[in-house]
Structure 1
Amino acid sequence: MYLYHFGFSELPFTLTPNTNFYCGLRGHDEALQVLLTALKTGEGFIKVTGEVGTGKTLLCRKLLNEIPDHFATAYIPNPYLPPEELRHAVASELGIEHHAQIDQHQLTREIEKKLVSLNKSGRSVVLIIDEAQALPNESLEALRLLSNLETETRKLVQLVMFGQPELDERLATRELRQLRQRISFSYQLETLSEEDMGRYVHHRLQIAGYKGPPLFQPDVIWWLHKGSRGVPRLANILCHKMLLLAYGSGRHTLSVKDIKTAIADTEDAIMPKRQDMLCFLAGVLVAAALALSLAFFLGWLPV
Structure 2
Amino acid sequence: MYSNFFGFRVKPFELTPDPSFLYLSPDLGEIRATLYYGISQRRGFGLLVGEPGTGKTTLINSLIDKSGIDANFAYIFNPDLNFNDLLHTVIVEFGLSSIEEDLSKTKAMHRLNSFVTEQFEKGKHTVIIVDEAQLLDIKTLENLRLLSNLETRKHKLIDIIISGQPELENTLSHKGLSQLAQRIGLRCRTKPLTEKEAYEYIDHRLKVAGYNGPQLFANKAKQTIWKYSKGIPRSINIICDNCLLTGYGRDQRRIDFSIVKEAIDDLKIVPLNNLDSPLDISKDSAEEMNHATLDQSDKIPETQQKFSAKLEQNDENSNDIVPKIRKSLIHKRRQSLLGKKIDVSVFHGLPELLELL
Q: Give distance in 2, aligned partners of 1:84 and 1:57.
A: 24
Q: Give distance in 2, aligned partners of 1:196 and 1:89.
A: 37
Q: 2:271 aligns with which of 247, 268, 278?
A: 268
Look up the SS of the partner of 1:74 in the other structure: strand
User: 2:40·2:69 contact (CA, 8 Å) conserved in 1?
Assistant: no
Q: 1:160-171 maps to which residues of 2 (within 5 A)?
A: 160-171=161-172
User: 1:79·1:135 contact (CA, 8 Å) conserved in 2?
Assistant: yes
Q: Give distance in 2, aligned partners of 1:154 and 1:33.
A: 21
Q: What is aligned with 1:189? A: 190
User: 2:15·2:237 contact (CA, 8 Å) conserved in 1?
Assistant: yes
Q: Give distance in 2, aligned partners of 1:213 and 1:177.
A: 55
The AA in structure 2 aligned to 1:12 is P
User: 2:220·2:257 contact (CA, 8 Å) conserved in 1?
Assistant: yes
Greater Cα offset, 91-100 or 145-154: 91-100
Q: Give distance in 1, aligned partners of 2:48 and 2:98.
A: 33
The Cα of 1:70 is off from its aligned counterpart by 2.1
The Cα of 1:60 is off from its aligned counterpart by 0.7
Greater Cα offset, 222-231 or 22-31: 22-31
Q: Give distance in 2, aligned partners of 1:97 and 1:35.
A: 28
Q: 1:218-233 maps to which residues of 2 (within 5 A)?
A: 218-233=219-234
The AA in structure 1 aligned to 2:246 is L
Q: 1:218-297 maps to which residues of 2 (within 5 A)?
A: 218-266=219-267, 267-269=270-272
Q: What is aligned with 2:48? A: 48
Q: Give distance in 1, aligned partners of 2:167 and 2:200.
A: 29
The Cα of 1:79 is off from its aligned counterpart by 1.0
Q: Give distance in 1, aligned partners of 2:31 and 2:109.
A: 32
User: 1:13·1:204 contact (CA, 8 Å) conserved in 2?
Assistant: yes
User: 1:82·1:139 contact (CA, 8 Å) conserved in 2?
Assistant: yes
The AA in structure 1 aligned to 2:116 is L
User: 2:39·2:125 contact (CA, 8 Å) conserved in 1?
Assistant: no
Name which structure has the greater RCO, CA cutoff 8 Å, separation 6+: 1
Q: What is aligned with 2:335? A: none
The AA in structure 2 aligned to 1:11 is K
Look up the SS of the partner of 2:2 in the other structure: coil
CA RMSD, Structure 1 to Structure 2 (Å): 1.4
Greater Cα offset, 26-35 or 114-123: 114-123
Greater Cα offset, 67-76 or 198-207: 67-76
- Scaled by the length of structure 1, the TM-score of the pair is 0.86
Distance of aligned partners of 1:202 and 1:108 in 2 relative to their CA distance in 1, 3 Å threshold: same
User: 1:149·1:156 contact (CA, 8 Å) conserved in 2?
Assistant: yes
Q: 1:129-144 maps to which residues of 2 (within 5 A)?
A: 129-144=130-145
Look up the SS of the partner of 2:217 in the other structure: coil
Q: What is aligned with 1:278? A: none
Q: What is aligned with 1:94? A: 94
Look up the SS of the partner of 2:142 in the other structure: helix
The Cα of 1:269 is off from its aligned counterpart by 4.0
Look up the SS of the partner of 1:4 in the other structure: helix
User: 2:218·2:254 contact (CA, 8 Å) conserved in 1?
Assistant: no
Q: Give distance in 2, aligned partners of 1:128 and 1:236.
A: 25
Q: Give distance in 2, aligned partners of 1:160 and 1:98.
A: 23
Distance of aligned partners of 1:89 and 1:222 in 2 relative to their CA distance in 1, 3 Å threshold: same
- Partner deviation per Cα, 1:200-237 (whole Å, 9 max, x = no partner): 00111111111221011221111001110100001000
The AA in structure 2 aligned to 1:196 is E
User: 2:218·2:257 contact (CA, 8 Å) conserved in 1?
Assistant: no
The AA in structure 1 aligned to 2:66 is E
Q: What is aligned with 1:5? A: 5
Decide which structure has greater helix share: 2
- Structure 2: tracts of 5 or more residues without a match: 274-357
Q: 1:203-218 maps to which residues of 2 (within 5 A)?
A: 203-218=204-219
- Scaled by the length of structure 2, the TM-score of the pair is 0.73
Q: Give distance in 1, aligned partners of 2:48 and 2:194.
A: 19
Percent identical residues = 36
The Cα of 1:129 is off from its aligned counterpart by 1.2
User: 1:263·1:269 contact (CA, 8 Å) conserved in 2?
Assistant: no
The Cα of 1:32 is off from its aligned counterpart by 0.3
The Cα of 1:162 is off from its aligned counterpart by 1.4
